């Protein structure tokens, strides 16, 4: 049976690589819906190739132009716009799998609607679990909705756990490349630019996540995501800096055995595995040549030079709405750094101050998460 995909964030890095997988396996995957924020040219080109039933643009101001251009391709393709439309398209009966690859907080609401509709979730939007992990896990259990990780690290953990259902996890070993500033001193990091931060040594990713990787906030988010995905306490999650990005993560079990997933740094592999699980489909993805590797090294992360990772651990320990505050402040600070309105190290200061000043809620509802996000963004913007 051909699985029909709804791709949220189809024009971003994960979305375009998901389409690579669909293109390689037309007998397995159909593209039912494509959703983007505002990259209208890319969205139109994708619609031209894949002929989905629906295309959706988050920016409602672009609706008229998108509708005109899509009608020239095919009058049969529906054109929708706005956040309400995206929340509706994920629940359409023909959709089998929702690839949640929207950037940031915007991915939360459509993921919730997709879970309620019983769709399989291929989750690339880590912020969904960072912001509201407890609600997402409760809903997934209630609606019996599978959530399959797309992040390379969480896919590696997931793959290492296949067949280990009854065995106790002693520790999750979450690897990190260390980013472009792994060996920089604090003095050097004080003057780095967004252009330098966007040059990741191993991965080709979108701008926001690449900056998060450089500041190690991305790894902090992944700690929180792992806590919810795999049901372990944060004390059992150890971050290891692994510059070669070959060991994508590992699990240590109660008997001391460690299982790891290795591979070349190519996001199409975990994307395809999330779509094909439990099968492994043949691919032409790059292979990791173990004979060519001179060494595989692992280091402790330096929280003094990368305080964002420490802030993520702090938010996780405090719980409640604090990870939501962390995410909102980081989105504001990340954008400000990319636009040259704050320095690289200032991002951590903005996030820490926002966490200190935003109202704490121990057991937030969805509506309180929405209010927290707005409050934290306002406070973070004031610091900038």
pLDDT of residue 294 exceeding 90: no
The whole-angstrom separation of Cα 364 and Cα 370 is 10
In a domain, 225, yes or no: yes
pLDDT of residue 176 exceeding 80: yes
SS3 166: coil
In a domain, 216, yes or no: yes
The region of weakest confidence among 17-26, 140-149, 175-184 is: 175-184
Q: What is the pLDDT of residues 52-61, one digit of tens each?
A: 999 999 999 9
Spatial contact of 111 and 136, defined as CB atoms under 8 Å apart: yes
Spatial contact of 369 and 134, defined as CB atoms under 8 Å apart: no
Q: Decide which of 191 and 158 is more confident.
A: 158
Which residues, in sequence order, are bridge partners of residue 259?
251
* Proportion of the chain above pLDDT 70, given as a percent: 99
Spatial contact of 180 and 196, defined as CB atoms under 8 Å apart: yes
In this prediction, residues 319-333 reach a mean pLDDT of: 96
The whole-angstrom separation of Cα 193 and Cα 338 is 8
What's this model's pTM, rounded to 2 decimal places?
0.92
Q: Return the CATH number at 44.
A: 3.40.50.720
In a domain, 296, yes or no: yes
Confidence tier at 125 by pLDDT (50, 70, 90): confident
Residues 243 and 295 reside in one and the same domain? yes
How large is the angle between the packed helices 207-215 and 322-338, nearest 10 degrees? Answer: 110
pLDDT of residue 140 exceeding 70: yes
Residues 349 and 221 reside in one and the same domain? no
pLDDT of residue 363 exceeding 70: yes
SS3 165: coil
Spatial contact of 372 and 364, defined as CB atoms under 8 Å apart: yes
Tokens representing residue 47 in the block: 């619609």
Residues 176 and 142 reside in one and the same domain? no
Residue 209: partners with Cβ closer than 8 Å, 6 or more residues away = 13, 103, 218
The region of weakest confidence among 96-105, 241-250, 323-332 is: 96-105
In this prediction, residue 105 carries a pLDDT of 79
In a domain, 273, yes or no: no
Confidence tier at 293 by pLDDT (50, 70, 90): confident
Residues 174 and 255 reside in one and the same domain? yes
Residues 210 and 299 reside in one and the same domain? yes
Instruction: Identify the CA nearest to 228 among candidates 168, 175, 164, 149.
Output: 149
In this prediction, residue 323 carries a pLDDT of 96
Residues 158 and 136 reside in one and the same domain? no
In a domain, 308, yes or no: no
Residues 31 and 138 reside in one and the same domain? yes
Q: What is the pLDDT of residues 59-86, one digit of tens each?
A: 999 999 999 999 999 999 999 999 999 9
Q: Burial letters for 216-253: b for 16+ Cβ neighbours within 10 Å, e otherwise?
A: bbbbbbbbbbbbbbbebeeeebebbbbbbbbbbbbbbb
Residues 342 and 228 reside in one and the same domain? no
Residues 27 and 119 reside in one and the same domain? yes
pLDDT of residue 201 exceeding 80: no
Residues 85 and 141 reside in one and the same domain? yes
Q: Provide the domain count of the chain.
A: 3
Q: Where are the alpha helices (DSSP H) in the chain?
A: 13-24, 40-50, 63-73, 83-89, 108-116, 127-142, 152-161, 186-189, 194-197, 207-215, 217-230, 268-276, 307-318, 322-338, 346-357, 366-383
The region of weakest confidence among 142-146, 186-190, 264-268 is: 186-190
Residues 218 and 121 reside in one and the same domain? no
Q: Return the CATH number at 365.
A: 1.10.1740.10
Give the single-character DSSP code of 299: B
pLDDT of residue 204 exceeding 90: no
In this prediction, residues 131-145 reach a mean pLDDT of: 94
Give the single-character DSSP code of 10: T
In this prediction, residue 203 carries a pLDDT of 64
Domain that holds residue 145: 3-149
Residues 167 and 131 reside in one and the same domain? no
């Amino acid at each position: 049976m051909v699985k029909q995909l709804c791709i949220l964030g189809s024009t971003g890095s994960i979305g375009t690589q998901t389409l690579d997988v669909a293109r390689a396996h037309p007998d397995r995957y159909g593209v039912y819906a494509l959703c983007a924020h505002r990259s209208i040219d890319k969205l139109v080109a994708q619609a031209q190739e894949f002929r989905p039933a629906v295309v959706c643009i988050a920016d409602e101001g672009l609706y008229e132009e998108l509708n005109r251009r899509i009608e020239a391709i095919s009058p049969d393709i529906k054109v929708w716009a706005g956040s309400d439309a995206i929340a509706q398209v994920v629940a359409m009966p023909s959709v089998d799998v929702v690839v949640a690859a929207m950037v940031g907080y915007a991915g939360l609401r459509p993921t919730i609607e997709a879970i309620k509709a019983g769709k399989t979730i291929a989750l690339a939007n880590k912020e969904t679990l960072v912001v509201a992990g407890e609600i997402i896990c409760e809903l997934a259990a209630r609606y019996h909705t599978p959530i399959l990780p797309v992040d390379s690290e969480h896919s590696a953990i997931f793959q290492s756990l296949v067949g280990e259902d009854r065995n106790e996890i002693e520790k999750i070993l979450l690897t990190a490349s260390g980013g472009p500033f792994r060996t920089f001193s604090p003095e050097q990091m004080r003057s780095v630019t967004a252009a330098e931060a966007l040059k990741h040594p191993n991965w080709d990713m979108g701008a926001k996540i690449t900056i998060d990787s450089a500041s190690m906030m991305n790894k902090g988010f992944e700690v929180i995501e792992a806590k919810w995905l795999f049901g372990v306490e944060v004390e059992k999650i150890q971050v290891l800096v692994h510059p070669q990005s070959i060991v994508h993560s590992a699990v240590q079990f109660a008997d001391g055995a460690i299982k790891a997933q290795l591979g070349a740094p190519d996001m199409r592999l975990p994307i395809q595995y999330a779509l094909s699980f439990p099968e492994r489909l043949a691919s032409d993805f790059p292979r990791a040549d173990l004979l060519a590797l001179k060494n595989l090294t692992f280091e402790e992360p330096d929280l003094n030079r990368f305080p964002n990772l420490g802030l993520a651990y702090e938010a996780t320990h405090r719980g409640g709405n604090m990870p939501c505050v962390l995410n909102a402040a980081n989105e504001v600070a990340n954008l400000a750094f990319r636009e040259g309105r704050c320095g690289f190290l200032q991002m951590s200061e903005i996030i820490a101050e926002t966490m200190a000043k935003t109202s704490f809620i121990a057991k937030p509802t969805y509506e309180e998460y929405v209010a927290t996000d707005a409050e934290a963004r306002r406070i973070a913007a004031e610091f900038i």
